[in-house]
Chains A and B, each alone.
Chain A
Amino acid sequence: MGKETNFEENMKQLEQIAKELETGDLDLDTSVKKFEEGMKISKECSDILEKAEKKITMLINDNGELKEENFVQEEE
C-alpha cells in the first residue's frame, strides 16, 4: 500500500515540477535539476504501471484459512 500513496504523491510532485519549470523563474542549474528529478519520478511511475501483473483471484475459506486462487468465470 506504500507504493500507492507514493504514486499519488509522485503525480502531485510531477505537477508541481511542471508548474515550477513553466514559470521560468528558476535559474538554469535549478531548472536542469528539476527537469532531471521530474524525469526520474515519471520513470518510476511508469515502471510501477508496466511492472504490474494482471491477477484476478478468488479468496476461499479453507478450514479457517484464506486461500487465494485464480478466479475463473463460469460460462453462462
Chain B
Amino acid sequence: MKYDPVSVTDLNKYIKEKIANDEALNNVLVKGEISNFKNHYTGHLYFTLKDENSLIKCIMFKSSAVNLKFMPKDGMKVLVFGTVSVFERDGVYQIYCKAMQEDGMGSLYTAYEELKAKLDKEGLFKVEHKKKIPVMPKCIGVLTSNTGSVIRDIINVSTRRNPNVYIKLLPVPVQGEGAAIKIVDAIKTMNDKKLADVIIVARGGGSLEDLWPFNEEIVARAIYESELPVISAVGHETDFTIADFVADLRAPTPSAAAELAVPNISDVMLKLNSYNNRYKLALKKKIEVMKLRYEKCMNSRVFKEPLQKIQEKYILIDMQIKSIQNSITNLYKDKKNYAINMIAKLDALSPLKTLTRGYSIVGLNGKVIKSVKQLQKDDEVDIRFYDGTAKAKLI
C-alpha cells in the first residue's frame, strides 16, 4: 500500500471549507459567559465563551466591536451572534462575532427568549421554510413608516441600483401599541392581492421596547405564513428580532435590505453583455477550428498532388511490363542456345560429315547398300561423296 499524506495546511483548509459550507455554522447565536477577555489595542476583541462544560474561542473585529452598546468584561453573560470558522494558521475554530448582547435583560428579554424558543421548536426558523428572494423582482413592497430615514434610505439605495425600480410603500406604524396588528394586516394585504414580488419589513434602530412589535408572535406568524418572500431589516446590525429569525432573509439595515432586494442593474447588464461576448468568442473559435481542419484537409497530399498516386501506379505497371519483356527475351535466348546446341550435336552426328573425311555412300535404286551381297555384276550404283554424287557400274 502506498501512503498519500496531505499537508497540515491542506487539512486545515479542507476543514475550513467544510465548516464554511455548513449553513448552520454561518449564522450562530450562542449564549455563554465571557472569560479571558482581551481588548487589543487594534480594537479587535479576543475572548472565550464558556458554560459549565465547554468553551469556545471568540474574536470580534473592530468593525463589529464599534457597534457594541456596552464594554464586555470577564464573567459577563452574553449572547453572541456570528460565524464559526477556522483560523487556518493555528488550526483552531472560533466564533467570528458580528454582534453581542448582554443576556438577562429583564422580562421583555425573557418573553423574547421564550417566544423564540417556542417558535424555534415549532420550526418557524427552519431553513427549508425560507423562500428564495427573486433575482429580478418587478415590484418591491416596503412595509415601514412613510416618514423618516428608513424609507428614504431604501428608496435611495434601490434607485441607485436600479434607476427603473418599482417600489410600493404600504405605510405602517413601527412602534407602540397596535403597531404589530397593523404590520400583520399589511403583510396580509400584500399577500392577498399579490401586490409585490418581495416584501421588505423595515424599521430603524431603537431600544428593545421600540423594536417590540417585531418580537410579537402575530408578526412572526404573519411573516412565516407570507407567500411572498419577506426580507426583514429591523434596527441596527446588532439587533436581532424574532421577525429577523422567521423572515426569509435578514438584512442588517434597511439600506442592506434594499441591496438584497434590488439587483444592481448595471451588473446584470454587464453580465448580459458578457454572455453576448462569450457567445461570439465561442462561435468564432468554433469557426476557426473548423477552418483549420478544412485547411489541414486541403493541405493533405491527396488534394495537393492528386495525380501522385496514379503516377506511382504507372511506374509499377511500367516495371511489370519491363519484367515481362525481360522474361520473354530470356526465354527466347535460352531456347535459341538450346537449338544451337542441338544443331551442333546433330551436325556432329550427320553422315554428311563422315563423307568429308573420305567415306562415301553407295546407293542402288535409291536404297543405301549396306552389304556386298546386295550387289550384282553390272549394277549401276550411285556413289555419294560429300560434295556430290557419281555413277558407277559394277564389274
Residues of A within 8 A of B (CB): 1, 3-5, 7-8, 11, 14-15, 17-18, 21-22, 24, 26, 28, 31-32, 34-35, 38-39, 42, 45-46, 48-49, 52-59, 66, 68, 71, 73-74
Q: Is the CB of B194 within 8 A of A1?
A: yes
Inter-chain contact B136/A46, CB cutoff 8 Å: no
Smallest CB-CB A-B distances: 5 pairs:
A21-B282, A52-B164, A7-B136, A8-B135, A55-B166
Please indicate the chain A residues that have their CB under 8 angstroms from the CB of B8 in the complex: none
What distance in Å separates the Cβ of A11 from its nearest Cβ neighbour in chain B?
A: 7
**Listed A/B pairs (20) with beta-carbon separation below 8 Å:** A4-B137, A4-B197, A7-B136, A8-B134, A8-B136, A17-B275, A17-B279, A18-B279, A21-B279, A21-B286, A34-B279, A38-B276, A39-B276, A42-B275, A42-B276, A52-B138, A53-B166, A55-B166, A66-B193, A71-B146
Residue of B134, B169, B189 near A56 (CB, 8 A) is: B169
| Contact-size category for B | 35 or more
Contact assessment for B272 and A21 in the assembled complex, using a CB-CB cutoff below 8 Å: no
Give B residues with C-beta under 8 Å from A. 134-138, 146-147, 151-152, 155, 159, 162-171, 189, 193-195, 197, 265, 268-269, 271-272, 275-276, 278-280, 282-283, 285-287, 289-290
Residue in chain A with minimal CB distance to B170: A59
Query: If the complex has contacts A53-B164, A73-B155, are A59 and B278 also in contact, measured as CB distance less than 8 A?
Result: no
- Asked if residues A59 and B169 are in contact (CB atoms below 8 Å), the reply is yes
Q: In the bound complex, what is the Cα–Cα distance between A34 and B195 (angstroms)?
A: 37
Smallest CB-CB separation from A53: which chain B residue?
B164
**Residues in A whose Cβ lies below 8 Å from that of B271:** 11
Chain A residues whose C-beta falls within 8 Å of the C-beta of B269 in the assembled complex: 46, 49
In the bound complex, residues from chain B placing their C-beta under 8 Å from that of A28 are 286-287, 290
**Once bound together, how far apart are the Cα atoms of A49 and B152, in whole Å?**
23
Chain A residues within 8 Å of B195, by CB = 59, 66
- Whole-angstrom distance between the alpha carbons of A26 and B278 in the complex? 15
A23 to B168, CA, bound (A): 44
- 8 Å CB contact of B138 from A1, A18, A22: A1
Select from chain B the residue with minimum beta-carbon distance to A36: B279
Collect the chain A residues with CB atoms within 8 Å of residue B137's CB: 4
